[in-house]
Amino acid sequence: MTNEKRKRQYRFDLSETPEYIGRAVVALAADGDVIRKTGQLLWVAELAKEYGFTDTDGRYIPLFDPKAPLQEFPC
């Protein structure tokens, strides 16, 4: 089985880069009112919408859904 097939089998084709999570951390660190988020479970997908950042390839990665249809990604 090729790497691409395995990625699709386990839905890694829908995942984000580590930089996407890093951008969420940077956005939170730059937020002067971040204390309002204390004690909450934060999802990067929701933070991306709130703070307006995308993954390294320009994609907004939605909340993970293992039943989501396969997507084609830019080369």
Q: In which band, very low, low, confident or very high, does the pLDDT at 8 lie, cut at 50, 70 and 90?
A: confident
Residue 70 has pLDDT above 70, yes or no: no
Q: What is the mean pLDDT of residues 57-67?
A: 83
User: Do the beta carbons of residue 18 and residue 55 sit within 8 Å?
Assistant: no
What interhelical angle do 18-30 and 44-51 show, nearest 10?
A: 50
Q: What is the mean pLDDT of residues 6-22?
A: 83
